[in-house]
A and B are shown apart, each in its own frame.
Chain A
């Protein structure tokens, strides 16, 4: 018998011929936050939660995203930052990109480690947990893009901000490679003391438009 058939037959033996039907799953937890996506209170909550992870949030109007991205890069990389150090997702809106920046292409992923910062959009943001989700779409870029450069700038638009985890997951396509980001990379492995910045980007800046 193959391992597959044997494991499956063990499962059937373990459950027995008259397997008990378990109780129905009751989903009486909060399905929605109650506030619509983009509600000003949700934006406030997102800011609060993201900053709690010691990430930085820069707020702006939809028209000011480009300038605010540049301000974020200034903050993350210092006064001497150059557009050539910054790599952006290929589908990132033209007017959000710093002029002269590098656009990700199909180079080997590890080459992205040479860049100091990356800029991406997000697919959805969850206010209650301060989570940004990148879904591998052209605007979010491939996974390595938001991983290897040490400074990550994510642009979130108000309509992408939902309240709760269930609302966030419902907006996502589980067949895409997803990365949920809640603050900069961190560890609590030494005496349970949280240290931000290990292998992923040590600096996370969020541009919240709207």
Chain B
């Protein structure tokens, strides 16, 4: 990968953001342009509609089962807020505890530095193969590309990540990255790419999962280095946590001699007890299960059990810039459950790839622009109808709609030259704050009656930006008189 040299390193609120030219936080198209293509893909729409409605139903059922969901959610929110307010202290404590138990802690300012650290650590072991547990942080920083550029072979071991890797595709969902593919498409990928696969492989999900098991089994048994992310890291004990379903995580966390965990700095929680909240909130919100099949925790190195070398890479990559935003910092509370994706009507139709970032959906629409600086992802805060379904399901009560609105304002206020839209909105602001001007403007809107020529709706062919509306919906012809005018005429003012 060639790192383009940007004219100016991007910042957000004066702090460095995730650098350009590395990782997967920026798309090459604006959201509306990318979505236009996705919306034409009927198969994608069908796959997404089926998958998101399935998981919505499962989540609702297991959440309703807990009488204290609201209290857990509020505790989760409060715990995250309290953690962020003392983030530096918790990180230092985490470092002390991990080190005391035989781990080595590394700090990475950004994606490039994290990739360099991991590459160096892998090379030091003398192996050329790396097995990976599904991890958003390593997707974010483009670790696979960096390791491959250094001549290393990287094997994604989560079934969905494997599908994405074998299909030379991109993940489109936080939890189920291959959600955009249906079983027939996955069967085709496996039949084409897995060496020695059974030619009679059908599209039965069980058969497909077994094909993946067979394909990866040997690699697990011979792997000497694994790379993982982390769902939580407990500062007071140095305990790392990975929550998973398939057992590929356990394979990676248990069998190799060396384990390298890359973790965003916001994943720290102060105490062991805090997990009693998050281990209830996460699985129910994420896969719609009471508990996920496997949760692994470890503190440093345990003699005779698991990797004897453990490295923890603490990653910033724009997170401190997010922390600097008093409104937006709430996005750092995200525990990557993906419930917001599954309820989002925009995600359900446009799909994850339209967001151009490894973090799609509502949380991605706030997190990605803050990690990169709003101007590098300026269309994302507008990729929402502000319906609020995401806020309702968020297990840590992140007010995503309010952050979206806040980031829209950050974008507007960052413009050095006024856009046509800004001129219009500023003019309208003046008009709407002076009743006399407002009444004049309302009268002027009646000019629409001239082009309507007596019809109840305006013509379809109108100039932009109105055409954005009239391409698919009629616009009513303005009435002869506004309500306030007629009321004043009848009743006096």
Q: Which of A's residues lie within 8 Å of B, judged by CB?
A: 2-4, 6-8, 10-15, 19-30, 49, 52-53, 106, 109-110, 113, 126, 128-131, 136, 142-144, 147, 165-166, 169-170, 174-193, 195, 197-201
* B216 & A199 in contact (Cβ 8 Å cutoff): yes
Stretch of B79-87, B394-402, B415-423, B449-457 on the interface side: B79-87
Chain B positions within 8 Å of A2 at CB level: 107
Give the contacting residue for A169; candidates B95, B206, B272, B302; CB below 8 A: B272
Report whether over half of chain A's contact residues are helix, strand or loop; otherwise say mixed: loop
* A144 & B275 in contact (Cβ 8 Å cutoff): no
Chain A positions within 8 Å of B179 at CB level: 192
**Would you call B140 an interface residue if the criterion is a C-beta within 8 Å of the partner chain's C-beta atoms?**
no
Stretch of B243-251, B352-360, B431-439 on the interface side: B243-251
Smallest Cβ distance from B219 to chain A, in angstroms? 11
Cα A6 to Cα B101 with chains together (Å): 25
Smallest Cβ distance from B297 to chain A, in angstroms? 4
* B15 & A14 in contact (Cβ 8 Å cutoff): yes
**Would you call B320 an interface residue if the criterion is a C-beta within 8 Å of the partner chain's C-beta atoms?**
yes
Closest to A179 in B: B296
Chain B positions within 8 Å of A186 at CB level: 245-246, 293
Chain B positions within 8 Å of A13 at CB level: 14-15, 320, 324
Q: Which of B's residues lie within 8 Å of A, judged by CB?
A: 13-16, 47, 50-51, 54-55, 58, 67-68, 71-72, 74-75, 78-79, 81-82, 84-88, 91-92, 95, 101, 106-109, 113, 157-160, 163, 176, 178-179, 182-183, 186, 205-206, 208-210, 212-213, 216-217, 220-222, 234, 237, 239, 245-248, 250-251, 253-255, 265, 272-273, 275-277, 279-280, 287, 289-299, 302, 304-306, 314, 316, 320-321, 323-324, 329
Smallest Cβ distance from B128 to chain A, in angstroms? 19
With known contacts A131-B291, A191-B50, A26–B75 Cβ distance under 8 A:
yes
Smallest Cβ distance from B65 to chain A, in angstroms? 9
Cα A100 to Cα B297 with chains together (Å): 33
Cα A192 to Cα B52 with chains together (Å): 8
* A144 & B220 in contact (Cβ 8 Å cutoff): no
Chain A positions within 8 Å of B324 at CB level: 13-14
Give the contacting residue for B15; candidates A10, A28, A181; CB below 8 A: A10
Known: A22-B84, A181-B294. 19 other contacts (CB 8 A): A3-B106, A6-B107, A6-B109, A10-B316, A14-B13, A25-B82, A29-B71, A53-B293, A113-B221, A126-B291, A136-B305, A142-B306, A144-B305, A174-B297, A177-B296, A192-B51, A192-B55, A198-B213, A199-B247
Chain B positions within 8 Å of A180 at CB level: 279, 291, 294-297
Give the contacting residue for A14; candidates B205, B220, B239, B320; CB below 8 A: B320
Closest to B245 in A: A186
* A174 & B234 in contact (Cβ 8 Å cutoff): yes
Cα A21 to Cα B84 with chains together (Å): 10
Chain A positions within 8 Å of B290 at CB level: 49, 52, 128-130, 182
* B297 & A177 in contact (Cβ 8 Å cutoff): yes
* A199 & B246 in contact (Cβ 8 Å cutoff): yes
Cα A4 to Cα B253 with chains together (Å): 25
* B293 & A177 in contact (Cβ 8 Å cutoff): no
